[in-house]
Amino acid sequence: MVTMKDIAAKACVSISTVSLVINHRDKGRVKPDIAATIWKVAEELGYHPNAMARSLRSGRTHTIAFISDQVATTPYAGEIIHGAEDAARQLGYMMFIIDADDERDISGDIDRMLSWGVDGYIYAKFANRYISVPPTLDDMQVVVVNAEERTVIHPRIEPDEFSIGYDATTRLIHAGCRRIAYIGCDEPAIAQVGRFKGYRQALKDAGIPFDKRLTSRVSHGRPALEAVCKLLDDTHPDGVFAFNDARAVYVYDYAFQHGLTIGEDLSVIGVDNHEVICDTTVPALTSVELPHYEMGFWGACKIISMIEGTDPIEQERVTPSYNAASMPPLDTDGPARIHCAIVEKESIVGGPRTHDDSEPAQTAGSDANPSSSASADGSRRPQRR
């Protein structure tokens, strides 16, 4: 390992001089030609400053820990991690990853983090859920992403579930739908409650009466398919808002079986903009995209702002890879809620709306910031394969 000592020896100066130069503190203190020599020697020797030694002195490690359950099991995990890593990297931080399976005791991992002197923690879930942050972290800097604490302690960000339901339903109404079904999730999730409220509010605002028979809560597999078919057979809706894309698929199955064409005879909108489903549905499913990348990005910016006491977004020290507009400010009172854009495909009658004629619904009772719509031609995500 090359050290400052080696450089000092080769450049015939003292270690402190090397330190000054390497840390760019040599302005008017070290002769420029000496500084140049030092840089040259450092380069030649392939010098890399020893982060460990540095941290030992400074007490700051420039690392954060990303703790999450279900790193493994959800397809969206990567986007949150990616967003957080992206922001962390741009701000000079490295990110540890810790899988916190619900069943597993993570106190050992937390001890290890404490040993490392990690500067801050991101605690994330991959579905908007209730969690409790381990009390060991009580006097650490913690940000909660895509989840809610029963007793709120830490700053957090979550999707604006209400406006997902509101916007999706409104989109169908604008396409001319009047009998709009809701295919829900059979579990009482935060997401379910919010989206359903948004659905009802949108109907109300449009003067369309709510009809319970148009709603159903399903899980997966054959029972779900049968429930959806029954709903469609019984009530013949002209639009369907599905809790998520997976549940929207059953509407496609029904349509294939009955010779209907989605996007012509029947409009459908889902949630998740799930890559594989959007890839494989014909016509492609229009869907509301949950901004996982953005939530991760926000989380990392937030935790780093707490560590450093400055706002990296305001200071423009950091740029998200996409969709910067939808990033809520870091210093919101209460939870940050992030707006979710509709990704237009082909499953709604009348075809994709262009950006121009869409005015995202202003969500009553929601503190969403001004929304940004994704482009009409689909996801803003990088394409796979």
Partner DNA sequence: GTGAAAGCGCTAACAA
Partner DNA sequence: TTGTTAGCGCTTTCAC
Residues that bind DNA (CB under 7 A): 1, 3-5, 12-17, 19-20, 22-23, 25, 28-31, 34, 49-50, 53-54, 56-59
Do residues 373 and 343 touch, judged by C-beta distance below 8 A?
no
- 150: Cβ contacts below 8 Å, ≥ 6 apart: 130, 132
Which of 71, 99, 124 minimizes the C-alpha distance to 294? 124
The backbone torsions φ and ψ at residue 184, rounded to the nearest 5 degrees and listed phi first, read -95, -175
The C-alpha atoms of residue 296 and residue 86 are separated, in whole angstroms, by 9
Q: How many CA atoms lie within 13 A of 379 on its CB side?
A: 22
Q: Is 28 in the site for its own copies (CB under 8 A)?
A: no
**Which one of DNA, its own copies, none is in contact with 23 (Cβ closer than 5 to 8 A by kind)?**
DNA
Q: Among the candidate windows 10-18, 63-71, 329-337, 369-377, which touches its own copies by CB under 8 A?
A: 63-71
Residue 183 lies near its own copies (rule: CB under 8 A): no
Fill in the DSSP letter of residue 209.
P
- Give the nearest distance from C-beta 208 to its own copies in angstroms: 29
Determine, following the binding rule CB under 8 A, whether residue 98 of this chain makes contact with its own copies: yes
Q: What DSSP designation does 343 have? A: E
66 contact, one of its own copies, DNA, none, CB 5-8 Å limit per kind? its own copies
- Whose Cβ is closer to its own copies: residue 81's or residue 301's? 81
Token match 């990567």: residue? 78
Q: Is 324 in the site for its own copies (CB under 8 A)?
A: no
Q: How far is the CB of 136 from DNA (least distance, A)?
A: 18
State how far the alpha carbon of 220 is from the alpha carbons of 226, 241, 249, in Å. 10, 16, 10
Task: List C-alpha distances in Å: 215 to 195, 210, 230, 232, 371.
Answer: 13, 9, 11, 10, 28
Least separation, in Å, of the C-beta of 306 and DNA? 21
**φ, ψ for residue 274, nearest 5 deg:** -65, 125
Least distance between DNA and beta carbon 140 (Å): 17
Is 30 or 330 the residue whose CB approaches DNA more closely? 30
Closest CA to 93 of 75, 116, 74, 115: 116
Min. distance of Cβ 45 from DNA in angstroms?
11
How many CB atoms sit inside 10 A of residue 238's CB?
Answer: 16
Among 25, 31, 40, 48, contact with its own copies (rule: CB under 8 A): 48
| Candidate residues 9, 12, 276, 324; the one interacting with its own copies per rule CB under 8 A | 276
Stretch that binds its own copies, among 6-14, 96-104, 171-179, 230-238 (CB under 8 A): 96-104
Among 9, 12, 36, 97, binds its own copies (CB under 8 A): 97
Residue 221 contact partner, candidates DNA, its own copies, none, CB within 5 to 8 A by sort of partner: its own copies
- Judged by CB under 8 A, the chain residues 277 through 306 that form the site for its own copies are 277, 279-280, 282-284, 293
Strands 63-68 and 120-131: parallel
CA distance 232 to 325: 38
Phi, psi of 351 (to 5 degrees): 80, 180
Minimum distance from CB of 308 to DNA (Å)?
Answer: 15
The minimum distance between CB 202 and its own copies, in angstroms, equals: 25
Instruction: Out of 156, 302, 337, 381, name the contact with its own copies by CB under 8 A.
Output: 381
- By CB under 8 A, how many residues form the interface with its own copies? 71
Residues 13, 18, 35, 77: which binds its own copies (CB under 8 A)? 77
DSSP result, 240-298: EEESSHHHHHHHHHHHHHHT--BTTTBEEEEES--HHHHHH-SSPPEEEPP-HHHHHHH
> Under the criterion CB under 8 A, does residue 19 sit at the interface with its own copies?
no
Is 71 a residue that touches its own copies (CB under 8 A)?
yes
Length of the chain: 385
Q: Which of 3, 19, 37, 74 binds its own copies (CB under 8 A)?
A: 74
Contact stretch for its own copies (CB under 8 A) within 66-74, 195-203, 260-268, 353-361: 66-74
